Every structure is written in structure tokens, then in C-alpha cells.
Chains A and B, each alone.
Chain A
């Protein structure tokens, strides 16, 4: 109120307002605000904030669990979508949806010809990286043990229903072998913070 003698009393705002403004930041910002002071933490942990970070539409199931817990669970554990071939999870820092299109969903040339490609089951441990060609395209090792190669980036300026096609092509005629494809992952680019 008036005459608050020069100090910025943001923490005195009602919690619903603190939540409303934190909901306009990102999951990462909300967590960092929670570490600033106690009053922020209450607001930053509230369901009002984390339900805003959840993508709209999909995944309306299990409303029993709290907003933040549900959000973080969706970051750690991808869910399989109805097609049984695409999994989805959330980018923890920004709340954007990420997808993995499994190899079965890709249009692979000669993919059904055993002479060229065979389909192998992948265990939960995802330990099968033997035979992935090295010295090609500088693959990077991921936390789950797979190697990944960045195929490119795109800007989504068509809103929700734009179409994107992604291709991985051989550029020389040399015979290659040993490539195991798990799938194609689509995720937001890391934005560098200030």
C-alpha cells in the first residue's frame, strides 16, 4: 500500500498474485525464485503455477497428483502416445513438449528387407551401442548411453499444426554397416540465459 518507505515489498503481494506472475515465467525461473525467499517458495510451488507450465490439451489424466509433481514426472518419464510409437515428455526448463519418433515410425528405405535392415528389440537398459559407426558426423554420447547426431533445427512459425519433414540421407555410395537407429528426437533448442 502507500508509503511503504522505499523498500520493494514484492513479497507482500497476495500469494495468488505472486503465483499469477510466476506462471508467466518458466519452470526454471519459478524454481530459482523459490530459492530467493520463503514467500516466493509458497507461490512458486503452487498448482496454479505448474498447471500453467503443463502443455494444454493432452495428458489430462491423473489429476490427483499435484501440479509440480506431475510436471516433473512428465519431464523424467516419457509417456507413450496413442499411436504406440511416439513418446512425449516435457523439457524441464521451459516446459516445451519433446517427442521421440521411434524407428518403427520412420520411413526407412528398404526398411523391411532383412538383407539391409533388421529389427532388433531394445532392452530397457538401452545398452546396445556396439556397432554404431564412429568418426561419422561427430556423434555425442547421451546420458542414456545412446549416441546422438544433431540432424538440424527448425523454427515453428505455423502454430500448432505445421508440418515438418526430417530426412537422414547417405551422401556417398560406400557401403556402411552397423548403424542402429532408435528413433528421432524432437526437442526445443537450449536458449542461452543472459
Chain B
């Protein structure tokens, strides 16, 4: 772990950091505990950063009631991997802004990280990332799902995501006529 990078900081901060632990313990909705690098958690999640800064971190496990253990394990895994990869400054930003921030392509390890997930695990992870204000992880997971959607017909999209067609025949015909250019080769 590369937590002692910021050595140039004043001696005082160092003392405070020593008194503290350099990991945070998070507790999933089903009561499992996970340790995550404090530095990475604060850097990657606006919500965790706020909790750390505000002192609302519980040493016995901070409750994250909205996140199941599988998703939380992935979140923690992602944070720890991120802490060990070279963090490029461009990837770090402080707020969620779908419309303004330019999208940055996932890096190779991030691709691999989401590629191995099942659909359910992926969707749970998107929600967890959204809940925790993890913009980068949200980008990476959304990118993965968007790749699964690209170039597919409505039928294929339903098949890939196991979605039921809840349109009537007439409604569907109307959509296809209105946007005929998007359906010319289906």
C-alpha cells in the first residue's frame, strides 16, 4: 500500500494519521465486514470522503444498509485495486456530473474488473457506485453495460438483459415509424 506518499506534509498530520487507522471498516446490509484503504475510499467516493471527514466512521464497521455483501465486496476490491494502480489525476474528480465531465475510457484493469462480473453483480455494483458517489466506478460500470447494448436490435437488447417487451404491437409500430432511420436494417 502506498499510503505514506504524502510525506512532505507537516509532522502533525503524520501524528494524527498514526493515531488513526489507515483503513476503514464497512458493513454490508447483511452484516459482513470489509476493510478498505481509507485514502482510496476518500479519493474515490464522495460519500465515504464525507463520512471520513465528518468523523461518522465506525471502527466496528460503518453501516451501509443499502449495499449487499457481494456488491460491497466488489466496491472494496475496486478501491483497493485502484489504490495500488497508478492513480492518474484526470480520473479523480469530486462530484457526479453526467452531463459535463468528459467520459474517460476505462483502463485495462478496470475493463477486466467488470468483465468478470455476472449481469446481476454488475447492476448491483452500478447502484452501489451511485449510492456511494463513486463517479469513476459509475463510469466504468455504465461503460460496460453500454457496450453490451451497442449495435443491437430491440429484440437482442431484450434478450441480453432478460427484459420483457411491455409495449403493445401498435405502440411498437408507432415508435419504429417515428424513428425509422434507427431501425432500417432490423
Q: Give me the interface of A with B, judged by CB distance under 8 Å.
A: 1-4, 6-14, 16-17, 19-29, 31-38, 40-41, 48, 51-52, 92-93, 193-194
Contact = CB atoms under 8 A, between A and B. Distances in A.
A11 B127 CA distance: 12
A55 B87 CA distance: 29
A32 B127 CA distance: 24
A32 B183 contact: yes
B169 interface: no
Contacts of B138: 17, 20
B142 A20 contact: yes
B126 interface: yes
Interface stretch (B1-9, B34-42, B154-162): B154-162
Interface in B1-53: 29-30
A4 B123 CA distance: 11
Contact of B152 (A4, A29, A37, A93): A29
Nearest to B180: A31
Given A21-B142, A24-B142, A10 B123 contact: yes
Give the interface SS of chain B, mostly helix, strand, loop or mixed: helix
Contact of B68 (A1, A13, A32, A52): A1
A29 B149 contact: yes
Contact of A37 (B103, B127, B166): B166
Contacts of A20: 98, 138, 142
A180 B103 CA distance: 44
Contacts of B164: 37
A33 B150 CA distance: 9
A29 B163 contact: no
Q: How large is the interface on B (under 10, 10 to 19, 20 to 34, 35 or more residues)?
A: 35 or more
A27 to B, nearest CB: 7
B98 A48 contact: yes
B183 to A, nearest CB: 7
Given A10-B145, A13-B126, A24-B146, A36 B157 contact: yes
Contacts of A36: 154, 157-158, 161, 163, 165
A1 B30 CA distance: 11
Nearest to B130: A17
Contacts of A14: 127, 130
B120 A26 contact: no
28 contacts: A1-B29, A1-B68, A2-B70, A2-B124, A6-B120, A8-B119, A10-B163, A16-B130, A17-B126, A17-B142, A20-B98, A21-B143, A22-B149, A24-B142, A24-B143, A28-B182, A29-B150, A29-B152, A32-B152, A32-B154, A32-B182, A33-B149, A35-B172, A37-B167, A38-B167, A41-B175, A92-B182, A193-B185
